[in-house]
């Protein structure tokens, strides 16, 4: 896919959690096509400690409003600078990058499993699945109820199940403990979140013989396959997550534990 370097205009920055902001960006030009699971590399201006672009998942693309949504965890100086942007500011982005999720069709029963800020790409994935006539089930995990992000948006595209570690919302425990995995049969699992969570999800998928894709969150710098800092060992040797992924079928990963 063709890549673009665009100066996008900040339409709004909404604090959706004490650590997360939802940034809506727009452009005078029509936004290019982007696929669920792809990401953007954002240039952070005005931060003395942030030299490299920051990779951020595409949370949603609203083509009617010509908006790109980014759900940003404001943890380091770079992402905090993004969280401090104001309406009208300009954010320079390289996009769309990487290889995204497979869009299932043919009535496959899809389970989208996310944790933490890893839920971000699942919203756009769910919307695209619904557009293809496949209504997904979202299984979203967090430490507490107040750490569950964007639930009302997810509910627009499918059924939403949640787990929390403290039991304050949904079922208590981790996503892999949720009863839906015992009670229902799924054809396809797609997951994004912390690596231990994704490995646990992959283990369940393998045990049940369910096809599964995971979006890896390896450290990235260039985002273009040039610096090799994002390499993952796979069944095909070392692959750059930024270029060959971030989404991989788990059969290609050496996650056999
Ligand atoms: Fe540079 Fe992947 S981030 S090669």
Q: How many CA atoms lie within 13 A of 28 on its CB side?
A: 3
User: Angle CA(175)–CA(203)–CA(242) in degrees, nearest 5?
Assistant: 85
* Centre of ligand 1 from the C-alpha of residue 159, in Å: 35
What is the set of domains in the chain, with CATH numbers?
4-97 (2.40.30.10), 110-252 (3.40.50.80)
pLDDT at 48: 67
Contact by Cβ (8 Å): 15, 21:
yes
pLDDT of residue 39: 96
pLDDT < 50 positions in the chain: none
How many other CB atoms are found less than 10 A from the CB of residue 252? Answer: 16
52 lines ligand 1 (CB under 6 A): no
Q: Give the span between the Cα atoms of 154 and 106, in whole angstroms.
A: 22
> In whole angstroms, what is the distance from residue 8 CA to residue 103 CA?
27
CA dist 215 and 39 (Å) reads: 11
Question: Is 94 near ligand 1, meaning CB less than 6 Å away?
Answer: no
Q: How far apart are CA 185 and CA 183, in angstroms?
A: 7
Tokens for 92?
């320079």
Q: What is the pLDDT of residues 25-75, one digit of tens each?
A: 999 999 999 999 999 999 988 776 767 889 999 999 999 999 999 999 998
pTM of the model: 0.95
Choose which residue among 51, 56, 217, 223 to substitute to test ligand 1 binding: the one with the highest number of ligand atoms within 8 A of its C-beta: 223
What's the CA-to-centroid distance between 194 and ligand 1, angstroms? 19
Q: Choose the residue to mutate in 41, 226, 238 for probing ligand 1, maximizing ligand atoms within 8 Å of C-beta.
A: 226
Cβ of 221 closer than 6 Å to ligand 1, yes or no, is: yes
In contact, 4 and 40? CB cutoff 8 Å: no
- Among left, alpha and beta (phi > 0; psi -120 to 50; other), residue 21 is beta
* Ramachandran region, residue 64 (left: φ > 0; alpha: ψ -120 to 50; beta: rest): alpha
Q: What pLDDT does residue 3 have? A: 94
Whole-number Å distance, alpha carbon 157 to ligand 1 midpoint, is 32
């Amino acid at each position: 896919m063709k890549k673009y370097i665009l100066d996008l205009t900040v339409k709004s920055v909404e604090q959706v959690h004490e650590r997360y902001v939802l940034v809506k960006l727009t452009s005078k030009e029509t936004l290019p096509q982007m696929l669920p699971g792809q990401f953007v590399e954002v240039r952070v201006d005005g931060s003395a400690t942030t030299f490299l672009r920051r990779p951020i998942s595409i949370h949603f693309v609203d083509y009617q409003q010509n908006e790109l949504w980014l759900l940003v965890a404001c943890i380091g100086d770079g992402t905090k600078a993004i969280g401090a942007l104001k309406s009208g500011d300009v954010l320079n982005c390289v996009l769309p990058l990487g290889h995204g999720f497979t869009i299932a069709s043919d009535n496959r029963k899809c389970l989208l499993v996310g944790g933490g800020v890893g839920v971000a790409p699942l919203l756009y994935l769910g919307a695209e699945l619904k557009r293809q006539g496949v209504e997904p089930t979202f299984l979203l995990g967090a430490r507490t109820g107040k750490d569950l992000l964007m639930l009302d948006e997810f509910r627009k595209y499918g059924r939403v199940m949640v787990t929390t570690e403290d039991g304050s919302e949904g079922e208590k425990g981790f996503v892999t403990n949720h009863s839906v995995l015992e009670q229902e049969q799924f054809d396809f699992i797609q997951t994004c979140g912390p690596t231990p969570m994704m490995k646990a999800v992959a283990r369940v998928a393998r045990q049940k013989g369910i096809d599964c894709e995971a979006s890896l969150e390896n450290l990235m710098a260039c985002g273009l396959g040039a610096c090799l800092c994002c390499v993952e060992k796979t069944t095909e040797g070392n692959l750059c997550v930024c270029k060959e992924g971030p989404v991989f079928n788990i059969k290609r990963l050496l996650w056999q534990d």
